[in-house]
Amino acid sequence: MSEIDSLKAQLETLQSEALAAFSAAIDLVSLQQMRVNYLGKKGALTEVLKGVGKLPPQERPVIGQYVNQSKSVLSAALDIAEAGLAVAAKAERVEAERIDVTLPGRVGATGALHPVQRGLDEMTAIFSQMGFAVAEGPEIENEFHNFDALNIPPEHPARAMHDTFFVEQMGDEPMLLRTHTSPVQIRAMKRFLAESGEPPLAVVAPGRVYRCDYDVTHSPMFHQVEVFKVDRDVSMAHLKGVLKHFLSTYFEKEVSIRLRPHYFPFTEPSAEVDIGCVFCAGKGCRICKNSGWIEVLGSGMIHPNVLKSVGIDSDEFSGFAFGLGVERLVMLKQGIPDLRMFFENDVRFLRRMGS
Ligand code: DAH
């Protein structure tokens, strides 16, 4: 075989070997290496060109042309292989980063308000929208605010009925956990009179209260909302109007109410308030014990002695007051059968009821 034919054969072998290698390359890095190996300054093609020196001068351009042709074939093949691998790499990335947009989202666990707190906030907001100012008082009270000023003198049987928790004395003064939010009536009236001299005043006082009691409808700690208004010519009609508006707003439906004569030391006359059963609409069911009515709170016209205890002239001013149990109303609204569920802290219950 002549020198030139042998060089040509060498070139052909090199070229087909290179093309096979390019198409088998698995990544861009190895293709880059192949480019250097075949087409680089010290690459295989340059090596072939070195043999050209052995050829007679008139044959040299011929083989030079072959080499150049091979160069462009290989260079084009490398470009194509590179582009192919780039596309494959991209497809691989897309596949690897693929997300399933039909999967349900991951919702972070958020906290929720306790159903009692939510009820307390809702109730306070309703009164506050009606113009009642929000007031608070201490949970550790003295006997004066919890009893005496509310017309419950020391030997009064109502003191025993309150199942009071007494705590350590302050000097000579017995202290207790307030048994109701009514003492806030006294504190708020005193504060208000010191600030502005005389009624009108309208107050809503939400808060925690304590009684030594524990069963399906009683817990030693529970919540009340106390509401009262003092002005000239306040009557039971105002009381009834406020109650009706409040109860219908809270239960999100028109509820009927009924005032039943009752006794509370701090009101005269006093009434217990019933609502038409929210479960059977008055037809009679297990919850209302077939009466069609459910008792929800205590109310009345503030006793003259209570007004006197804070220096309000009971000839000139009158007031209504009522106090309600928050847990009881939340139970009625949400259909919760046992009051103790509020305080057992079972997260399944709290998640379902909280918000
Ligand atoms: N303080 C009473 C209680 O706990 C509830 C109550 C009844 C409050 C009548 C009032 C009222 O303001 O007028 O049981």
* CA 342–ligand 1 middle distance (angstroms): 22
Q: Which of 264, 268, 302 for mutating ligand 1's site (highest number of atoms within 8 Å of CB)?
A: 264
**Where are the chain's structural domains?**
3-96, 115-354
Q: How many angstroms separate the CA atoms of 175 and 168, rounded?
A: 6
Ligand 1 atom closest to the Cα of residue 226 is 12
User: Is the CB–ligand 1 distance for residue 267 below 6 Å?
Assistant: yes
- Regarding the beta carbon of 182 and ligand 1, being less than 6 Å apart is answered yes
pLDDT tens string for the chain (355 positions)? Answer: 777 888 888 888 988 998 898 888 888 899 899 899 988 888 888 888 887 888 888 888 888 888 888 889 889 989 998 988 889 889 989 999 998 999 998 888 888 899 999 999 999 999 999 999 999 999 999 999 999 999 999 888 778 777 899 998 878 889 999 999 999 999 999 999 999 888 999 999 999 999 998 888 889 999 999 999 999 999 999 999 999 999 999 999 999 999 999 999 999 999 999 999 988 888 888 888 899 999 999 999 999 999 999 999 999 999 999 999 999 999 999 988 888 899 998 988 988 886 6
Report pTM: 0.72
Quick check: CB of 303 below 6 Å from ligand 1?
no
CA of 198 to the centre of ligand 1 (A): 23
Fold classification of 115-354 is: BirA Bifunctional Protein; domain 2 (3.30.930)
Three-class secondary structure of residue 174 per DSSP: strand
DSSP secondary structure string for all residues of 187-248: HHHHHHHHHHSS--EEEEEEEEEE-S--BTTB-SEEEEEEEEEEETT--HHHHHHHHHHHHH
> Using a 6 Å cutoff on CB, does residue 206 contact ligand 1?
no
